[in-house]
Structures are given as C-alpha cells and as structure tokens.
Amino acid sequence: MSVVKWGILSTANIAKKAMIPALKNCENAEITAIASNSGKAEETANEYSIPKAYQSYEELLEDPDIQAVYIPLPNTMHKEWVVKAAEKGKHVLCEKPAALNVKDAEAMSEACRLNNVLFMEAFMYQFHPQHKRVRELIAEGVIGEIRHMRSAFTFKFDFEKNKQNIRLDKNLGGGSIWDVGCYCIHSTKYILGQEPKEVYVNASIHEGFGVDTKAAGILSFENGMTASFECSFEQPMRDFYEISGTKGTIKVPFAFRSDRFVDGEVSIVILDEKGEKKKEVLKGNQYEIQAAHFGHCILNGEKPVYSSEDTIRNIKAIQACYESLKLNSPVRL
C-alpha cells in the first residue's frame, strides 16, 4: 500500500498526544520528520521513533522526502507556515482554528491552490462515525423537522498555573470561543447543513488576560431554525450537542472528545415524542480517521470532505460572534 510521508511542525502537546500516535496507526501514513524551534525536536523524535529531527521549520520544509505536514502551531502562526509549506509543495493538515480572520484563511487557501497542494483544517471530531449517523437519522425524518440545536464545550482551566498558556494569550488568538466554542459553531453548521444568518454572543472577559473565558451565543438560520451554544474555561468538562425536532430529540453526550474513551466508543440517544429512548453505540479513533482520509485524498488526487471553503465560512461565523460581543448586539452574516 502506498503511504504519505509526513513532517510535523512543532512538538506541541496535541501532536504528541493525538496526531503522532494517530499517524503511526494509519496504514497510509509514515512520519518522516519532526521540527521544533524550541530545541525539543530530537527528544520527541527519539520518544516516538521518528527518523529525522530538525531544529527549524524551514529545514523540514526543505526535505524532499516529505509530502505532507501537520501544523499544530499557535493560531497566529498558521498563515505563515501554511503558505510556506504550500510554496515548498507540501500538502497541509492545519490545526483549528486555521486562521483568526477570513482574509488570512483565504490567503492560505489560495496559496495551496496555486501550488497544487491539498489543505484541510483539523476539526477531527467530525470524522467520528457518530456524526454521520446523526445526519442519517435527521435525513430519515426520525425527529421530524428540526427546530433547535444546542451545544456546549467547557472545561475547567487553572488560570494561575497556566498564565503562559496560549489559550490565555490575547495576541495568540486565545479565548474560549476560538479554543472550544469553534467546535460548537462548526458542529451546528455541519449537522444542520446551513450557514447562520445572524449571531448574538455574550461573554465574560478576564480582567488580567483580556480574553473571553466564558461565552454563550444564539445563531439564527433562514428557515427559522435556531441554535444555542456555550463554551467556557470555568466549568467542568462537557462536550455535547442535541438536536430537537417536531417528533423527537437526538442527544450526543460526547460529541467532540470521543478520544477520551477506549476505542472512541460513545453512544447517541434518540428520544421519541413520548420520551422513550433508543441508544446506538458507535466507535472509532477520530484522529486516525481524519489522518487516513487526508492521506487517501493525497494518494488519490481527491478533494477532502472538509474543504477550505468550509473553513472560510466557519471562520466568518466565529468572527461574527466576536463582532457581536464587541458591539453587544446581533450581527448579520
């Protein structure tokens, strides 16, 4: 079987804990090199048996053996390194959010198009089989016509111990909406299959860090559907969504971090009009499925299911949320 040879730009925790193990388990992937500007490349390469370690991102991009790169750098660095990777002929899988504004996202997409390489933003959760099943149930009319969807992604963050964390750095794209609220917004659009026409958001801004540490919002759609979301660094771990229709409700209790469970095994719950429940269990490693899909697209010249156009639309919606917060009023898209 043909394989894609990968390079990893950065020794970030998400790379070490999730993507490197996922790529190592993919039949169509081979990790060739890792690079770090912090001097940790060799240590990480030894830990994960990666053949090459580079002391700069530029060196890795010059490696002719590497076909694709995974970029888990801070949000504000994505554009620079996506463009540089594309110019070196490397396909790019970039962590979410790919950019902090539409202009940068469009520039990244255009650089990849001009250099004939594939680009995909790493919203890994969407590759878990449970979401495809939810969409099937909706299409089958199991819960009737959708009226509302609500979602939440929250976790408790120790601000005192993590003062230097990029999630709390305003200049690096920190804040709960960019970090976890983006999943709620993305899943709403993905499951409902529509773009919001208006958003309204309220949030708590940390006095010291200047970033939103808790936020809640309402999204309105053309056909009358509505959606609500909340995201937070101040509350215990929750990562769910539920869709309410005229005939019932679908609940997805572990929507975004199914990787917390063995084999990614989670369940979805379907409630009918009488409240009677039916449960379906699904499993899968969302990081592995994501990596395998992107590798398949590279090897077969296919377009990823999650396109750069989808990324641009999602960033537009998130930007509108921040604009609403700034204006303290609804914002139309």
Token representation of residue 62: 């010059």
Give the span between the Cα atoms of 34 and 11, in whole angstroms.
8
Helix-helix angle 78-87:102-114, to 10 degrees = 10
Catalytic residue check, 197: no
- Tokens, residue 53: 């370690």
Joined tokens for residue 119: 């680009």
List of E strands, the chain: 4-9, 29-35, 52-54, 68-71, 91-95, 119-122, 146-156, 198-205, 212-220, 226-232, 234-245, 248-252, 266-272, 277-282, 331-332
* Spatial separation of the C-alpha atoms in residues 28 and 6, rounded to whole Å: 10
Name the β-bridge partners of 242.
150, 251
Who contacts 241 (Cβ-Cβ below 8 Å, separation ≥6)? 149, 150, 151, 152, 184, 187, 188, 191, 252, 255
Q: Which of 16, 84, 96, 251 is catalytic?
A: 96
Residues labelled as active-site residues = 96
